[in-house]
């Protein structure tokens, strides 16, 4: 089997979208991917992201919120920004062989009560999973 594809997901706060993407690719891609996530800032995990992923049977509660500074000099096959703000803040990532942008809305910005806010996290979670299954998993199929 070829070496694992190194993938870095970037978002603004590394609290929800990038963390969910990392969790899905770790779970669904197993040893075919070496995956990490980071943010332009680190604000800690959003509990609603943890809860949404737990519904899928994926525990991201142990993930650490990290800044991209930690990864700037590491080589990656693919760097994917998952929010527009991160895409604008880091238009160039020197260590990436390829760069992609996947625009997902910020579920933490949705107003309303607990049910409406959680529904936003579930919708983004499902969109992230679909994109990973469609664009990344077939590339590294066994």
Q: Among all residues, which ones are annotated catalytic? A: 11, 83, 90
Query: What are the two backbone dihedrals, phi and then psi, of residue 128, each rounded to the nearest 5 degrees?
Result: -65, -45
- Left if phi > 0, otherwise alpha if psi is -120 to 50, otherwise beta: which for 30? left
Q: Quick one: 137 exposed, middle or buried, by C-beta within 10 A (0-12, 13-18, 19+)?
A: middle
Pick the closest to residue 89 from 10, 8, 6 (CA basis). 10
């Amino acid at each position: 089997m070829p070496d694992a594809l190194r993938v870095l997901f970037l978002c603004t706060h590394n609290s929800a979208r990038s963390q969910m993407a990392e969790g899905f690719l770790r779970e669904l891609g197993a040893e075919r991917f070496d995956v990490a996530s980071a943010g332009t800032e680190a604000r800690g995990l959003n509990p609603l992201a943890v809860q949404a992923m737990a519904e899928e049977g994926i525990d991201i509660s142990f993930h650490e919120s990290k800044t991209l500074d930690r990864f700037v000099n590491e080589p990656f096959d693919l760097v994917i920004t998952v929010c527009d703000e991160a895409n604008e803040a880091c238009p160039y990532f020197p260590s990436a062989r390829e760069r992609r942008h996947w625009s997902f809305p910020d579920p933490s910005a949705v107003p309303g009560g607990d049910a409406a806010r959680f529904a936003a996290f579930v919708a983004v979670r499902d969109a992230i999973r679909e994109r990973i299954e469609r664009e990344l998993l077939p590339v590294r199929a066994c």
